[in-house]
């Protein structure tokens, strides 16, 4: 079991004494509702059974020591509770450091430093929220280790998002941290990001699987155009607010958008606004279709989501488009789209059991021929939220 391996590594590096605790927090895949979470819309992600593991122990001084089994060549990286400034090289420790900084900023003082060992089995840069899982994981570890009992899992998601926005410089929405913190086995989370009200919807895919395909094109949300998209959507909202009384783009139906869209002066901002409005409505329809057991409609909405992200929101990339185009050609594919922040990363597809092998073979052959790379496939299971692991 991975938790035991992380614990063993911790003991090897830092010694066996004291109260060493091990925790896990999952990554996520979003089924539909992309780039809606900072536009007051709905999202429909689910937590995965893969994620990040952490072993941690309090120290008697104010030092922080970090070790990741994913970046062994970095060795033990040292910092301190008195040195909360982001590492300029963007080291992974910026994520746990950011969460500690956010705890302190909320008056939850960390009186002692920590030794930390980590392992994640989410492929790095794949868009399956390795960073959000690390933020939620750090939050859970701090809550449990320092006894901040009043913090809810939603609080941990919000602290994670706050730290990512303000310490790591990515202006992300709440989806990833919420999906990691609130995951539930075999369910996706239908979340209204305007109010944070949510509902669990069972994902029963009779005779089909969720297949995540990694384009092996690493995305980087901070350096990518993610923050630009956010600003462009905000501009669309601002222009629309001159003609219609709305708080977010999620307040509009497609018809209302069409009636008022000329208020958005800039053509790019109009396209971004269109995506945000239509994608939110697609997400609402998709969840209804899933509840009605109408997987075909769910798949069509996934496909339409991809077209909109490709053409209007422009967060896809040619490599990912190859994977989606090839997937659409296979009759056993119910739906396929880019998932997550975009600019690389993964696609999510719903594939009939009997077509999974064909899916892998055809996508691999086409991708090798057209892109010159080999994609990776993960047939994923929907898992629970974070937990302490007893080992």
Q: Which residues bind ligand GLA (CB under 6 A)?
A: 34-35, 37-38, 172-173, 175-176, 221, 340-341
Q: Which uninterrupted H or E stretch holds 378?
A: strand 376-380
> Coil, strand, or helix at residue 66?
strand
Count CB neighbours of 263 within 10 A.
16
Q: Which is nearer to ligand GLA, 36 or 145 (CB)?
A: 36
First to last CA, the chain: 9
User: Taking the complex as a whole, how short is the minimal distance between the CB of residue 35 and ligand GLA, in angstroms?
Assistant: 4
Report in angstroms the alpha-carbon separations of 279 from 93, 263, 301, 302: 34, 20, 9, 10
Q: Indicate the pairing of strand 387-389 with strand 197-202.
A: unpaired
- State residue 335 phi and psi, 5-degree precision: -170, 155
Q: Which residue's CB is nearer to ligand GLA, number 237 or number 356?
A: 237
| Beta carbon of residue 385, minimum distance to ligand GLA (angstroms, whole number) | 17
- Strand order of the β-sheet with 197-202 is 42-43, 187-192, 197-202
CA 282-159-42 angle, 5° bins:
10
Whether residue 40 contacts residue 29, with contact meaning beta carbons closer than 8 Å, is answered with no
Least Å from the CB of residue 216 to ligand GLA: 18
What is residue 123's DSSP assignment?
P
Within 10 angstroms of residue 106's Cβ, the number of other Cβ atoms is 12
User: What is the sign, positive or negative, of the torsion defined by CA atoms of 322, 326, 329, 330?
Assistant: negative
Closer Cβ to ligand GLA, 98 or 341, answer by number: 341
Instruction: Decide: 56 and 20 in contact? Cβ < 8 Å.
Output: yes
Least distance to ligand GLA, CB of residue 373, Å: 22
Nearer to ligand GLA, 164 or 239 (CB): 164
Handedness of CA 375, 376, 377, 381 (dihedral sign): negative
Give the integer Cα–Cα distance in Å for 226 and 171. 8
β 208-214/376-380 pair status: antiparallel
Q: How far is the CB of 38 from ligand GLA (least distance, A)?
A: 6
Residues pairing with 114 in the sheet: 58, 64
Shortest approach of ligand GLA to residue 307 CB, angstroms? Answer: 16
Residue (34 or 192) nearer to ligand GLA, CB: 34
Question: Which of 38, 53 has the CB closer to ligand GLA?
Answer: 38
Q: Closer to ligand GLA at the Cβ: 229 or 389?
A: 229
Minimal distance, residue 141 CB to ligand GLA, in Å: 21
Catalytic residues, by residue number, are 176
């Amino acid at each position: 079991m991975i938790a035991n391996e992380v614990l063993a590594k911790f003991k090897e590096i830092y010694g066996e004494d004291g109260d060493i605790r091990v925790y896990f927090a999952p990554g996520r895949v979003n089924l539909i509702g992309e780039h809606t979470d900072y536009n007051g819309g709905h999202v429909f992600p689910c937590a995965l059974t893969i994620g990040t593991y952490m072993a941690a122990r309090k120290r008697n001084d104010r030092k922080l020591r970090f070790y990741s089994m994913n970046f062994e060549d970095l060795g033990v990286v040292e910092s301190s509770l008195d040195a909360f400034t982001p590492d300029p090289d963007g080291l992974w420790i910026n994520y746990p450091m950011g969460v500690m900084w956010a705890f302190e900023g909320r008056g939850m003082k960390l009186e002692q430093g920590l030794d930390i060992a980590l392992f994640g089995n989410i492929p790095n840069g794949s868009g399956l929220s390795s960073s959000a899982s690390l933020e939620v994981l750090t939050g859970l570890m701090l809550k449990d280790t320092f006894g901040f009992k009043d913090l809810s899992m939603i609080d941990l998601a919000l602290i994670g998002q706050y730290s990512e926005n303000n310490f790591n410089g990515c202006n992300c929405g709440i989806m990833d941290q919420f999906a990691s913190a609130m995951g539930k086995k075999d369910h996706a989370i239908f979340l209204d990001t305007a109010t944070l009200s949510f509902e669990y919807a069972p994902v029963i895919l009779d005779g089909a699987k969720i297949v995540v395909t990694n384009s092996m094109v690493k995305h980087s949300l901070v350096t990518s155009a993610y923050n630009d998209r956010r600003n462009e959507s905000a501009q669309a909202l601002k222009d629309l607010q001159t003609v219609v009384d709305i708080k977010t783009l999620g307040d509009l139906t497609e018809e209302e958008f069409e009636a008022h869209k000329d208020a958005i002066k800039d053509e790019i901002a109009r396209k971004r606004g269109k995506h945000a409005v239509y994608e939110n409505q697609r997400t609402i329809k998709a969840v209804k279709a899933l509840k009605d057991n109408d997987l075909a409609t769910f798949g069509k909405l996934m496909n339409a989501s991809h077209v909109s992200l490709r053409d209007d929101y422009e967060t896809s990339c040619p490599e990912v488009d190859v994977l989606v185009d090839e997937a659409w050609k296979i009759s056993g594919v119910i739906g396929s789209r880019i998932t997550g922040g975009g600019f690389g990363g993964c696609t999510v597809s719903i594939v009939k059991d009997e077509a999974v092998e064909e899916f892998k073979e055809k996508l691999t052959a086409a991708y090798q021929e057209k892109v010159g790379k080999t994609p990776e496939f993960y047939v994923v299971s929907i898992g629970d939220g974070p937990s302490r692991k007893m080992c």
